[in-house]
Each structure stands twice: as structure tokens, then as C-alpha cells.
Chains A and B, each alone.
Chain A
Amino acid sequence: MSRFVLRRVLGLVPTLWLVVTLVFFLVRLAPGGPFDAERAVPPEVMAALEAKYNLDAPLLVQYRDFLADLVFRADLGPCFKYPGRSVREIIALSLPVSMQLGCLAMVLALLVGVPLGVVGAVRHNRAADTIAMSVAMVGISVPRFVLAPILILVFSLTLYWFPVALWESPRHMVLPVICAGLPTAAYIARLTRGGMLEVIRADFIRTARAKGLSEWRIIWRHALRGGLLPVVSFLGPGFSGLLVGSLVVETIFNIPGMGRYFVEAALNRDYGLVMGVTLVYGSLLMVLNTAVDLAYAWLDPRVKLDG
């Protein structure tokens, strides 16, 4: 087990390096530079600016310095757009907000999705199943940027229950978390239903019934463990979906998370910030995916840990 974990974790390093390298050169080879957007400056000033940020060095030297700074000092360099602040500061300020949003949304998605899916499977092909799955289908089909304005219109502008935007008190968090979590909940409901339907037909469930266990005990203690396997394997992509979703949600609700730097940094050619955001999201995704694989193996004894 520990050998497997070690191998998987070590396997992340080359992938991460690949991503970082790819993005590093992609950003620098792209047309335009970080100081193009400002009004035209004399060439001497431009040269001074580039020298200050080490942009006049050959590409490979820049790459070497960047990697050295990153590996040995965990330093991502300065941020071009917000002078005087480092990329690390910006990430340290915004990442916790995004994490909070993502985790709350995932909790909500599980709390809504799993029961909905179980109901669908237990009442297979009956009214409750049809209703649960229609709700889930709507959840999958409505994009977050449509859901968000509807939520704001109903709950903020008409009923005045929750604030329109920002991220300050728990009341501020309600609408963004619902908006980020519901589409994921819909996916989880469908996966739970599918997994449960398969498990309910299995022999060990028939045995449990024959023993005379109560229906709820069978579902919660016996079927759910196997029925949730598809959900577990979805959690990796699900989290990445939430990260993407948080991009939209953070924009609409004006939440000071990391999502907005995604596009903003790329548009501004803010090399350091692009690298920082890529690195954080990339490693987060990879670690989560690995964790999901491990959880999968732990839940399903049939999976052999080799790889």
C-alpha cells in the first residue's frame, strides 16, 4: 500500500514538470508581452523594465532561473499587473477563498446528490425515480452562468434573502455555493443511481435480504459501499469541474478567489501569475485524482494496487 502511494506521488512530479514547462514556453512564445497594454513607452524605459524582470535574458536562461526559484525557494516571482506584490502573496490571499467555495459546494453536491440517486435506484422506474432523474437532468443541462442570474433575481432582488455578491459572511456564501454545487449534485445523483442499480441486483444483496435485514439497513450498510464506487471515481473530475465552475461563479458573484486570475492573468500576459495559477490548479487536480484512486482501491477490494 505505502509503496503504491509513494509511486503515485513520485509519478506526479514529471507530469507537473511537463505542465509547467509547456505553459512556461507557451506563455512566452505567445504574441504580445506584459507591457504592451500600457501606453507606448520609450525603448529605453522598455529595456529597463525588461531587464528588471529578467525578460531580456535568453529563453532557456529564464527557464533555468524560473525553475531554480520555484524548486529551491518556492518563489514564483513578481506580479506584473499589481506592482509591489508577489505572485505568492496573491495566491495566498485568493486560494483559501476558492478552496472554501469548492469544498462547501462539494459537500452540498454530495448531500443532495447521493440521497437523490439512492431514491432513484430504490424506487426504480416509479414516480419518485422519474422525478429525481428529471431534476438531475435539469441540473446537468442548465449552465452555471444561467443558474446564477436566476438565483440572484429570485433570492436577492425579489425576496431580499441573500446578498447579491461578495464573500464576507455565511449569508454571502449561500447563493454561490448552491450555484457551484447543484450541477455537480446532478451528476452525482445519476452516478449513484446507476451504481446502486447494479449493486442491488448482486448476490450478496439477495443474501442480506434472505437474512431478513431491514431494507434501509441493506441500502445504507451493504449496497451503498459498492454503489458509490462510480461516485468516488467521479470525484476527481468532479473537483476539476467545480474548479472550472468556480471560475464562472466567482466572476458573477464578484468573489475574490483565484478563478478570475485565470483569464485575467493570461489576457495581461502576466507570466508569473499565469504560472502560479497553473501550478496551483494543476497540482491540486493531480493530488485529488491520486487521492481518488487510493480511495477507490480502499473501497473496492477487487482492485489490485499496481501501477
Chain B
Amino acid sequence: MAEVQDNSLRRDAWRRLKRNRAAVVSGCILAVLTLCCVLVPELSRWRYDEANLALGPTSPSWGHWMGTDYLGRDLMTRVFFGGRISLAVGVVATMVSFVIGVIYGGVAGYFGGRIDNLMMRLVDVMYTFPFLILVILLMVFFAGKDGAPYGVWVSVLGVFVADPKDPAYFPVFQIVFVFAALGAISWLTMARIVRGQVLTLREQPFVEAARTMGVSHTGIIFRHLLPNALGPIIVYATLTVPQVMLTEAFLSFLGLGTQEPLASWGLLASGGAEMMDIYPWILVFPAVMLAATLFCFNFLGDGLRDALDPQIRGGQR
């Protein structure tokens, strides 16, 4: 019974989403962009870190569709390679915040009472916390080779590869660090949303039924409550991705996020911004890509909200 209703709800939402032209177009653009980010750096004649100092910065041409940067590197390869990192940061950090937020909010909402009160008061306190200061400090102090997190990284990586101290792995460590730091600061709102959903759902008869059948607390939270609360959670997750990407771009702008010779849209755009009056294309291409991606994610999130949010459904005429 629940299955059937669930299906029709989902189909309903899907139809509604398909009617929203802006959301569909955004979704398609995102799919194409992701595909390009995967393929272009592989198929390109140039490598993302292949410098050609004799060439230097050149404007877009047949050989280099987006021109070259001040080290003579092919900008198109770099832009799409940077897209991989930017998108990955957005998606992975959102997943981190998703996992923390869903577990935290689910537990608080399900158990309610004193536990809920305490857990949510903690979230309130953390809301006023100047997290960005902490992230900046963490990036400055601990993302280097002599910080404790790098030691942990080396020992974990040592399980999988022979030589974890190989400098080739160091940039990967830095990016994982960015993932973790950004995910760790963006779960608060997610926890609040999940908790609110669970709080209303747990009074429903189907939860009572599951409990009488002897399903464990964990089972009820993860098998019965969370799947039913998924709509608003997905909407918020979609809107978290652009926020996280923007924060990564901001950190890269300050020189604390992704490091050369790797690239992310934030890093490329901030490098381009320094010389935009002479070589505007170095700024324009990554900036347009970043803005377009954020734009699409926001539109998609809005479309999903209209399609999935029951409050708006009730209000539709």
C-alpha cells in the first residue's frame, strides 16, 4: 500500500518537474557539462599542466579554442579539468553534509524530548559559530605537509599504495581536506530540515505499526522515516551543491583551496581576474562556466522544490 502511494507521488513529482522548462534545461546543461568535464581533458591534445613558456598567453584560436594562459597551457583543457574538481567538491562535500545532517537530524527528531532539545540547542549554538574563520585557520595551518591531518592521510593511504609520501598524492590530500572541511560546516541546516520532517512523520500510524512489529530504532529511522522525508532533503541537497562550490571558489581565491598546477573554476577565475584587462579570456571562460553551473543547480533545486514540496502542492490552484 505504502509502496503504491509512494510510486504515484514520485510519478506526480516527476511529471511536475518535466513541465518546468527551466529545470529540465538546467538538468540537461549540467549533464552535458559533466560529460565534457569527464571527456575533454582525456581527449584533448594538451595536458592540463603542460606549460609552453615560449607560447605564453594567446587569445582563442583554432589550436586552442579557449586560448592559453600565462604559462602557455591550453585553457580549455584546464577549464574542464578544473570543472572536475569544482563539481567533485560540490557533490562530495554535499554528500558529507548529507550524511551528517541526516543522521543527526533523524536521531534528534525520532527520539524527541530531552535528546532532541539538547541536540538542537547544540545546533543553535553552532549556527552562531564563525565557521569560516575556523575553516580558514584549518586550511592555513593543517592542510600543509607538516600538519597532523597529513600524517593521518599518509597512514591511511599506506594501506592501499606502496609509497604514500609520493608528492604526486599530496594535491589529492589537499582536495580531500577541502571536501571534509566544507562538508563539516554545511550540515546544520540539513539537520534542521530532516529533524522537522521526522518530527511530523513519527506520529504517523505506519511508524506505530513498525514499532509494534518489533522493528529496531535504527530500522525505523532509516527504513521508514527517512525515505518518506526524502523530498525536502533532496531539494536542500541540490541547493547545497552551488553553495559549497561557491565556498570552494572563495577559498581558492584566497589561495587556500585547490593549488596549482591543479585547477578549479575558482582558482582559474581568480588567476584570470588579476590580468583581466590584458588577457580577458583567462577570466571569462572559467567564470562563465562557474556561473552557468551554479545557475543551473539553483534552477534545478527550485524546480525540484516546486515538484516535491508538499506545502506548495497544497497551495496550488
Contact = CB atoms under 8 A, between A and B. Distances in A.
Interface of A: 12, 15, 19, 22-23, 26-27, 30-32, 137-138, 140-143, 145-146, 148-149, 153, 157, 198, 201, 240, 244, 247-248, 251-252, 262-263, 266-267, 274, 277-278, 281-282, 285-286, 289-290
B269 interface: yes
B287 A30 contact: no
Contact of B140 (A252, A263, A290): A263
Given A31-B146, A289-B128, A145 B133 contact: no
A22 B291 contact: no
B14 interface: no
**Nearest 3 CB-CB pairs, A to B?**
A30-B141, A141-B294, A31-B146
Given A140-B294, A143-B249, A149-B283, A262 B136 contact: yes
Question: Among the interface residues B130, B142, B246, B291, which one has the most CB atoms of the partner chain A within 10 A?
Answer: B130
B140 A19 contact: no
B54 to A, nearest CB: 28
B191 to A, nearest CB: 15
A153 B141 contact: no
B254 A247 contact: yes
A145 B142 contact: no
A281 B133 contact: yes
Given A137-B299, A282-B133, A146 B140 contact: no
Interface stretch (B44-52, B66-74, B96-104, B270-278): B270-278
Contact of A262 (B133, B138, B280, B299): B133
A30 B142 contact: yes
Contacts of B290: 143, 146
B62 to A, nearest CB: 27
Contacts of B144: 31
Nearest to A263: B254
A247 B144 CA distance: 23
Given A145-B249, A201-B315, A263-B140, A285 B276 contact: no
A251 B273 CA distance: 12
A201 B250 CA distance: 39
Interface residues of B, number: 42
15 contacts: A27-B137, A32-B146, A138-B291, A140-B298, A141-B242, A141-B292, A145-B250, A146-B291, A149-B273, A153-B276, A157-B277, A247-B254, A248-B254, A289-B127, A290-B128
Contact of A145 (B242, B253, B298): B253
Which applies to chain A's interface (DSSP): helix, strand, loop or mixed? helix
Contacts of B250: 143, 145, 244, 247-248
Nearest to B293: A141
B132 interface: yes
B128 A286 contact: yes
Given A26-B141, A30-B147, A266 B136 contact: yes
B266 A143 contact: yes
B134 interface: yes
Question: Among the interface residues A22, A201, A251, A263, which one has the most CB atoms of the partner chain B within 10 A?
Answer: A263
B132 A244 contact: yes
Nearest to A11: B125
B273 A15 contact: no
Contacts of B273: 145-146, 148-149, 252
A211 B132 CA distance: 50
B145 to A, nearest CB: 9
Contact of B291 (A142, A247, A248): A142
A263 B256 contact: yes
Given A31-B146, A263-B136, A285 B141 contact: no
A252 B254 CA distance: 11
B65 interface: no
Given A143-B246, A145-B269, A146-B283, A266 B130 contact: no
A31 B291 contact: no
B291 A141 contact: yes
B129 interface: yes
Interface string B287-317: 1001110110011000000000000000100
Nearest to B140: A266
Contacts of B136: 262-263, 266
Interface string B240-256: 00100010011001111
A76 B76 CA distance: 49
A71 B61 CA distance: 63
A263 B132 CA distance: 11
Given A248-B253, A285-B128, A149 B276 contact: yes
A137 B295 contact: yes
A247 B133 CA distance: 11
A244 B253 CA distance: 12
Contact of A282 (B127, B130, B253, B315): B130
